[in-house]
Structure 1
């Protein structure tokens, strides 16, 4: 008999830990069918049950509702006290929590940070990357030393600590814990294989994919710049032309030959617009955003919707965001990589929410009716979605104005920090 319904996705690690805990305890969970992440969890009927909109989320048959993966896993394991998942004494229960918290804070969160750095979710920092790898390695060695004389983390049987840590390690070995590092922590890998290959867990955890070399940052290719023509030398007194030597096969260089001009942006070929983007940037910088004589009033009086378009921009991987200041730095990095399009673009983007529960969203005003030629100068532009706004629609106009005024709020997440591209 099912104890309730769980909303999760097949790949979500915390969803796996909940399902594994239920399976080990002999309990059944019904997985919500046809769930579409980032769509269904924004619908009113879902938010009515889980106002924060996060998964995994559990609703029991008696109507009890709970979100946050570890909290759900603890609750599920408590429904079968004889399973031993929470330990058999208060001391063992505390140790179970200890190893879970260590793995979540010093392994899983660092995997998130490293992947965000590598994928462009954060502006790349070698210092942060190196520090994160060192902290992960230190934690793995702590786990390895503990497991050197033990099969499981607490006691002689599987506990929730084993399930959670194995789930976190299984994800890490696919990205950051490569072959050389795995060789340093053999007991951790042995423990991982022991847990994921338990008969009750095999179908839940699935196969483990081991990466041979940890993910590395690849800087974007630099554009080759045409050399500027050398400045003309001052005229020299004419000299008699010497006869050419018979063995001189090369012709004299023609000084009139110039290097080819730099490639033109396709945006330069668009019809001229009455909207002056630089004037708008000055108006936005020097006026209050709202008000009778504010920047928005200036915008509506001067905007040319034929020559420019307005876009809603959303980061695609909000589940990877951790600290809000890091997310703000990510926006700054994205804007830095848009430098080549500065004359065609204005942007206002922000971080909404709090640490480990935030999103990145905002708006762009750009030349033309297609965003791609403007934003594809940034190597990480495909990490964002771009949807054209129609200011004739009240909801689009409200979003646009709030993004410019830095008071945008989405799904209860309030504006925490922002940056402009001017």
Structure 2
């Protein structure tokens, strides 16, 4: 069988594996380059003449057709085989294939790659909050995928599509980095789907033997350099003990009493913030007997106020996961005001075109005493909301329900301060 071309990739690259699997599943032959060394071969003038961006996977077709970006290559390869079913049988199924391929790459694969680079010291310095945020985002994606697979064998229809192959390649990589024994127990349908795909006769050689880690990869700090011990200094002579009559109580440093928070002096409110946090956590946000209904029945506008919060420097935001982490950092620095504050803030938009917005419910009528405990509180704009105003009320409810949309930017991730 004649080869359709050469695919530049490396064994651990999930996207390259998915492309090779798509070719194998449809009976096509695709070559791998001899003696390819990543970060060397793809920087040579010969490679850059074909693929100026220097990126892999990269496909060099037997007919001279060249292509990069994994999804584009995979779709092209899947469509080359006669009567291929990998792209779906109609326009809607084709769109669903694209949806799940994108989900595998951006919502699971990207988090796996970033976590791997963090814990291995490729991205420095290591930051625990970023690691935690990435892990939380990935688990959220696993939950979405698990729910979808709980009622079906494959992702799109009753046959294997390109979506299933991409997802299996992505999950195989996660099984080496994050998807450990405790997580696998939570997501049996993901594992069932993965094993169904990789054990297809046409795909076994491509996926090879899968390793299942018991514990997710964790960051290990590098050992500290040992400093040479300095010779011990001669003990200093003890100071003479002062006469008892010279010891005055006022000479002993006293601990300054902690200043009382002015919010504690406000009149008692009928609205219990802790009860609200529990209601929000345990009820559906909207609908009969939902959290919003509980809020309106119990809210005390004399003792509390509601504020819209917008980040001032949205034009500087890049990756959405970093924007989400920015919210998490802001909330961490508000810890001293936890008993006076509730928040729901989110990232709206997409990478390199996003904004941060949301709402805060705070004790009292002034936001400043509550938020100024965070050093970066002035990086946000605060506007008091009037819940008797339809527009303000709609904004408030959408921020709590995580379906807020501003200027065409839809809510994609959020955090609560509870």
Change beyond 3 A, Cα 1:230–1:210: farther
Q: What secondary structure, in the 3-state scheme, does the structure 1 residue paired with 2:39 have?
A: coil
Q: Does 1:121 align with 2:122?
A: yes
The CA distance in 2 between the partners of 1:131 and 1:52, in whole Å, is 30
Q: How does 1:340-355 map to 2 (within 5 A)?
A: none
Deviations for 1:235-289, whole angstroms, at most 9, x for unmatched residues?
Answer: 769xxxxxxxxxxxxxxxxxxxxxxxxxxxxxxxxxxxxxxxxxxxxxxxxxxxx
Q: Which moved more, 1:124-133 or 1:218-227?
A: 218-227
Cα shift at 1:10: 2.8
Cα shift at 1:138: 1.1
Q: Is this contact kept in 2: 1:7–1:58, CA < 8 A?
A: yes
Residue 189 of structure 2 is matched in structure 1 by: 187
Q: Does 1:199 align with 2:201?
A: yes
Residue 172 of structure 2 is matched in structure 1 by: 170
Q: What secondary structure, in the 3-state scheme, does the structure 1 residue paired with 2:105 have?
A: helix
Residue 244 of structure 1 is matched in structure 2 by: none
Deviations for 1:210-233, whole angstroms, at most 9, x for unmatched residues?
Answer: 000011122334456658747723
Cα shift at 1:323: 6.2
Residue 368 of structure 1 is matched in structure 2 by: none
Q: Is this contact kept in 1: 2:134–2:321, CA < 8 A?
A: no
The CA distance in 1 between the partners of 2:4 and 2:119, in whole Å, is 40
Residue 141 of structure 2 is matched in structure 1 by: 139
Cα shift at 1:127: 1.1
Residue 48 of structure 1 is matched in structure 2 by: 49
Q: Does 1:156 align with 2:158?
A: yes
Residue 24 of structure 1 is matched in structure 2 by: 25
Q: Does 1:232 align with 2:233?
A: no
Q: Does 1:3 align with 2:21?
A: no
The CA distance in 2 between the partners of 1:211 and 1:29, in whole Å, is 31
Q: What secondary structure, in the 3-state scheme, does the structure 2 residue paired with 1:29 have?
A: strand
Q: Is this contact kept in 1: 2:26–2:78, CA < 8 A?
A: yes
The CA distance in 2 between the partners of 1:103 and 1:74, in whole Å, is 15
Q: Report which structure shows greater RCO (CA 8 Å, sep ≥6).
A: 1
How big is the alpha-carbon RMSD for the aligned residues of Structure 1 and Structure 2? 2.7
Q: What secondary structure, in the 3-state scheme, does the structure 2 residue paired with 1:127 have?
A: helix
The CA distance in 1 between the partners of 2:234 and 2:102, in whole Å, is 63
Q: Does 1:99 align with 2:100?
A: yes
The CA distance in 2 between the partners of 1:56 and 1:71, in whole Å, is 10
Q: What secondary structure, in the 3-state scheme, does the structure 1 residue paired with 2:83 have?
A: helix
The CA distance in 1 between the partners of 2:67 and 2:132, in whole Å, is 36
Deviations for 1:86-137, whole angstroms, at most 9, x for unmatched residues?
Answer: 1111111111111111121111111111112211222111111111111111
Residue 69 of structure 2 is matched in structure 1 by: 68
Superposition TM-score, scaled by structure 1 size: 0.54
Q: How does 1:383-422 map to 2 (within 5 A)?
A: none
Deviations for 1:15-62, whole angstroms, at most 9, x for unmatched residues?
Answer: 111111111112111222222222222211111111111222111122
Residue 286 of structure 1 is matched in structure 2 by: none
Change beyond 3 A, Cα 1:235–1:162: closer
Deviations for 1:276-310, whole angstroms, at most 9, x for unmatched residues?
Answer: xxxxxxxxxxxxxxxxxxxxxxxxxxxxxxxxxxx
Q: Which moved more, 1:223-232 or 1:180-189?
A: 223-232
Q: Is this contact kept in 1: 2:67–2:73, CA < 8 A?
A: yes
The CA distance in 2 between the partners of 1:235 and 1:186, in whole Å, is 71
Cα shift at 1:9: 2.3
Q: Is this contact kept in 2: 1:57–1:66, CA < 8 A?
A: yes
The CA distance in 2 between the partners of 1:124 and 1:91, in whole Å, is 42
How many residues end up aligned between the 2 structures? 244
Structure 2 residues not aligned, in runs of 5+: 242-317, 323-350, 353-418
Residue 262 of structure 1 is matched in structure 2 by: none
Q: Is this contact kept in 2: 1:24–1:83, CA < 8 A?
A: no
Q: How does 1:318-357 map to 2 (within 5 A)?
A: none
